[in-house]
Amino acid sequence: MRTVADHVRALAAQLPKGRLILSGIQPSGRLHIGNYFGAIRQHLAFQYGNRAFYFIANYHALTSLNDRELLEAYTLEVAMDYLALGLDPEQATFFVQSDVPQVTELAWIFTCLVPVSFLEKGVAYKDKIARGLSPVAGLLTYPVLQAADILIYEADIVPVGQDQKQHLEFTRDIAQKFNTLYGEVFKLPEPYIHPEVAVVPGIDGQKMSKSYGNTIEIFASGSALRKRIMSIVTDSTPLEAPKDPDRCTVFALLKLFATPEELEEIRQAYLRGGYGYGQAKERLYELMEHYFEEARQRRRYWEAHPDEVRDILRQGGQRAREVAEAVMERVRQATGLLTTYSKSFALRKI
User: CB 241 → ligand ADP: shortest distance, Å?
Assistant: 29
Q: Are 102 and 61 in contact (CB under 8 A)?
A: no
Select from 82-90, 156-164, 224-232, 283-291 the region that touches ligand TRP (CB under 6 A): 156-164
Binding to ligand ADP by CB under 6 A, coded x per residue (else -) over 3-32, reads: ----------------------xx-x----
The crossing angle, in degrees rounded to 10, of helices 277-291 and 222-230 is: 140
The CB-side HSE value for 282 (13 A sphere, CA atoms) comes to 5
Regarding 164 and contact with ligand TRP (CB under 6 A), the answer is yes
Residue 38's binding partner among ligand ADP, ligand TRP, none (Cβ under 5 to 8 angstroms by kind) is: ligand ADP
Among 52, 57, 139, 225, binds ligand TRP (CB under 6 A): 57
- Helix extents (H) in the chain: 4-14, 33-35, 41-46, 58-61, 68-85, 102-111, 116-120, 123-130, 137-152, 165-182, 222-230, 249-257, 260-272, 277-291, 293-304, 306-335
Regarding 29 and contact with ligand TRP (CB under 6 A), the answer is no
Cα angle value 309/32/221 (rounded, 5°): 85
Residue 245's binding partner among ligand ADP, ligand TRP, none (Cβ under 5 to 8 angstroms by kind) is: none
The C-alpha atoms of residue 38 and residue 322 are separated, in whole angstroms, by 30
- Give the residue with the Cβ less far from ligand ADP, 123 or 241: 123
Cα angle value 34/37/41 (rounded, 5°): 135
Residue 158's binding partner among ligand TRP, ligand ADP, none (Cβ under 5 to 8 angstroms by kind) is: ligand TRP
Regarding 99 and contact with ligand TRP (CB under 6 A), the answer is no
Indicate which residues carry an active-site annotation: 128, 207, 210
- Give the residue with the Cβ less far from ligand TRP, 41 or 167: 167
- Give the residue with the Cβ less far from ligand TRP, 57 or 312: 57
Residue 238 burial (10 A CB sphere; 0-12, 13-18, 19+): exposed
The C-alpha atoms of residue 41 and residue 94 are separated, in whole angstroms, by 15
Q: Which residues, at least 6 apart from 132, have a Cβ–Cβ distance to it below 8 Å?
A: none
Q: Which of residues 208-237 bind ligand ADP (CB under 6 A)?
A: 208-211
**b/e 295-308 (16+ beta carbons within 10 angstroms → b):** bbebbeebeeeeee
User: CB 346 → ligand TRP: shortest distance, Å?
Assistant: 34
Q: Which residues, at least 6 apart from 28, have a Cβ–Cβ distance to it below 8 Å?
A: 61, 64, 65, 74, 210
User: CB 149 → ligand TRP: shortest distance, Å?
Assistant: 4
Regarding 39 and contact with ligand ADP (CB under 6 A), the answer is yes
Residue 57's binding partner among ligand TRP, ligand ADP, none (Cβ under 5 to 8 angstroms by kind) is: ligand TRP
Among 87, 107, 158, 331, binds ligand TRP (CB under 6 A): 158
Residue 50's binding partner among ligand TRP, ligand ADP, none (Cβ under 5 to 8 angstroms by kind) is: none
User: CB 158 → ligand TRP: shortest distance, Å?
Assistant: 5
CA distances from 264 to 78, 225, 254, 268, 317 (A): 34, 24, 11, 6, 45
Q: Are 280 and 286 in contact (CB under 8 A)?
A: no
Select from 132-140, 199-207, 290-298, 309-317 the region that touches ligand ADP (CB under 6 A): 199-207
Bridge partners (DSSP) of residue 22 are 53
Residue number with the smallest Cβ distance to ligand TRP: 24
Binding to ligand ADP by CB under 6 A, coded x per residue (else -) over 54-93, reads: ----------------------------------------
The C-alpha atoms of residue 239 and residue 248 are separated, in whole angstroms, by 14
- Give the residue with the Cβ less far from ligand TRP, 146 or 333: 146
- Give the residue with the Cβ less far from ligand TRP, 16 or 183: 16
**Site residues (CB under 6 A) for ligand TRP?**
22-26, 57, 60, 146, 149-150, 158, 160, 164, 167
